[in-house]
Every structure is written in C-alpha cells, then in structure tokens.
Copies of this chain bind each other. A is one copy, B any other.
Amino acid sequence: MSTDAPRPQLTRRRLLGAAGAGGAAGLALGAGGYALARPPASDPGATGATGAAGPALGAASVPFHGTHQAGIVEPMQSSLHATAFDLTPGTGRPGLAALLKRWSAAAAAMAEGRTPPGLTDDQVALDAGPSSLTVTFGFGASVFAKAGLAARQPAALAPLPAFPEDRLDRARSDGDLWVQVCADDPLVAFHAMRTLQRLAVGQAAPRWQMTGFSRAPGATARPMTGRNLMGQIDGTNNPKPTDADFAGRVLVPASGQPAWMAGGSYAVFRRIRMLLDVWDQQSGELQERTIGRRKRDGAPLSGGTETTPVDLAKQNPDGSLAVPGDAHVRVAAPASNQGAAMLRRGYSYHDGFRPDGAPDAGLLFVCFQADPMTGFVPVQRKLARGDALSRFVVHESSGLFAVPGGAAADGYVGQALLEG
C-alpha cells in the first residue's frame, strides 16, 4: 500500500447503528454517520457502502496507513480507550521517534488483525478480527520542549483559555502524547491499548486513562445519531462530509503550518461529568428547553424531524423564541459562532459513583478541527457563558493535542515532525 493509495472517499460505512449524522458544538455522542471514510482493508476495492454486517463485524477493518490518521473521519465504533502518556525522563527525540515507529507498526498490524512485530503472545483479540480497530496518535504541547522540538511546536497548541466554569483536574488533563483506540469489540480495544502501553515501557508511561462506550453495533435497526447519558439524541448538527467546507474545517490542509501537520487535525479531549441526579429531577419540558430539541426524537423545538435545520428565529404564538435564548443548540450553533464547527466523536463513560454518591458518569468529549482557535475555543467560550446546559455538567479534565497526518506504508506517524 503506497502513501497515496487510499484516497479518502465519500462513502458510508453501514455499520449496524454505529453511525449518526451530527453538528453543533458542546456535548456530543455519535459523531459518525456520513463521514469521509476510507475503504476498509478487508475490501480494498469498495467505493460505496462498506464494512461488515452481522457475524462478520469482527472482520471489518480500517487501514492504518493513509493521508490522514484513522479514527477521525470514520464513523464511530462502540468502544473507546483513551490514554495520555508522559515521556519517561531521558526520552529525547530519538527515543520518541523509536516509540512512534514501534507504535505505528503495531497499530498497522493490529488494524489488520495481525500480531504486532516482535510480539508472540498476541492471542487476546485475534479471534475477533480487528473489529474496525483504529489507533490515533497526538502530541501535547508539553512534549516539544522535552524532545528538543520546541521550535516545531504549532502555534495552534497554545493553551486553551480558562473557561469560567471549568473544574479541571490537572492529573487527568493534558499529557505529552495522546492515544485514542476505538473498536467495535471492547476486548479488541482493551488489548490494543494494552499492547501499545507495553511497547512504551522505558520511553513513556500512562498519565491518565479513560474508557468510553457508544451504542452497540446492531442495537438499532437503522444508523442513527447516538444518545448521551442525559437521554438526549446528540450529534445531529455535526459537520457532514457532504458539506463543501468539511475537510477545511476538520483537517489541516496540505499547505498548512507547520508543514509537518499537513493532513492532520487538532483534537480536544474533555471529560465532562453530567450532574445526572440534578438533571433527572427536571421536568421533561425543562430538559427539552435546555437542549433545544425534543428528547424522544431529537427534533428541534422549532419543528420538523431530527434532521430538520434548527430555525433559530422561529417564534411561538406568544412571541417567545421556539428555541430558547440559552438553549444548547442555539448557543452552540455555527450560526451563533461565525460558522465555527468541529467534528465531534464523543463517548459516554460510567465509572461507578463518587464519594458523595453522585454518578461518576458523563461524556468523554472528543472533537477534531483544523484549528482549535476557530473550532472549539469560540464555541466553548460562548457555552461557558450562556448555555443552559452548563448548569448540569462539569468539565473535569481537558487536553489539546496535535494529531499529525497519517503514515505512509513505510513510515510512521509523526515522522515529518521527528525527522523533518
């Protein structure tokens, strides 16, 4: 497989409900749906609907190599393992390059259901096949000085501004490296992350680790937008690959700066706890006015169905706004943010309950954009001030990572940074 072989194609992976159409900002689940997807390795000639059905779910695969890293524009899988790593003291540029080489080779092998080079005990997940495994690597701002690469740090990795309502746990935020593992089988996802962690020993150690879930493939009869733990359909307004400016919003162009980020993206990762005990005490009407959509079917309060565009100007008979002024969909809408948009790919999490008895549950928010300063930042700034939903969520951790372009078949992710 050569560098330019897997050209991104407009296609739709019919993966049994893992999909969803999506676009405002803030809370999201089910960012997939129509997406810029590469044909899976198991069906290299496919140009239309691709992917596995039924019992062959495990056999479905997404190639690791390509212009962009996998795990960004593909429809969401059902399991997420996200881990941030910090470099072990003494790991400089050569050690980091060696690590990314090992990681890339392992990810490429596992994406095809093969045992990673140098490992012999890789039986954990093999009998499930790759199950659409994707591995996505990112660099945090802190890695550049440590690895002697300060001069190559992207301006877009400037610290996110402090949002008024943030309650960030620094130990679960940031990190030198970020690894996003997604698969349609939770054992495959666990095993892949575990393998990468073992391959990092000596060069990098986990800083934090989180696990998320989405709707099971096949749980719904049709591809649909996901629901978050609040019960709301979420992700409807995600940018669609059919949008003329989709690639420009999500991916760094070939001419982008720094040059090593060409074909890459910037990921914002946030652990957003939901105050479900408080939320569940609200009336259904208040919940719907908080979001701006009907709970049952996701239709905007301005009318229509889930996919009907939100009519922000629509008035009720009494002259009030159909979509309230502080409704989440209004505050987050691109129309309210100079067109700012990001591709969300968030997962739910549930880690039992907290010492106070409240559920330790919510959203592992993941979004990708060409530039966080025109994607996540302006939207979140507005949400933190005026979003009715902000009373029901707590942002507990945050990270911003530079996700470079994909690797050539004979290369590795980050090569242009580390060898350029």
**Chain A residues with a Cβ under 8 A of chain B:** 16-17, 52-59, 78-79, 81, 120-125, 127-129, 131, 184-188, 190-191, 194, 198, 205-206, 208-211, 213-222, 224, 227, 229-231, 276, 280, 284, 287, 295-296, 348, 350-353, 357, 359, 361
A110: min CB distance to chain B, Å: 14
Interface pair A218/B127, CB less than 8 Å apart: no
Q: List 7 A-B contacts (CB under 8 A).
A: A54-B54, A78-B216, A186-B214, A187-B229, A194-B359, A208-B352, A217-B218
A122 contact set on B, CB distance < 8 A? 231
CA of A186 to CA of B191, assembled, Å: 19
> What number of copies of this chain does the assembly contain?
2
A219 contact set on B, CB distance < 8 A? 57-58, 128-129, 131, 184-185, 187-188
Interface pair A184/B216, CB less than 8 Å apart: yes
A214 contact set on B, CB distance < 8 A? 186-187
Known: A211-B350, A224-B127. Contact between A218 and B54, CB under 8 A?
yes
Choice from B55, B121, B208 contacting A220 with Cβ under 8 Å? B55
In the complex, residue of chain B having the shortest beta-carbon distance to the beta carbon of A59: B221
In the complex, residue of chain B having the shortest beta-carbon distance to the beta carbon of A352: B209
Interface pair B121/A216, CB less than 8 Å apart: no
Interface pair A350/B208, CB less than 8 Å apart: no
In the complex, residue of chain B having the shortest beta-carbon distance to the beta carbon of A121: B284
Interface pair A348/B187, CB less than 8 Å apart: yes
Knowing that A186-B213, A211-B352 are A-B contacts, what are 16 other residue pairs whose CB atoms are under 8 Å apart, sorted by A's residue number? A17-B55, A52-B218, A55-B222, A57-B219, A121-B280, A121-B295, A123-B227, A123-B295, A127-B224, A128-B215, A129-B219, A185-B215, A190-B348, A208-B352, A217-B217, A218-B218
Interface pair A127/B220, CB less than 8 Å apart: yes
A131 contact set on B, CB distance < 8 A? 216, 219
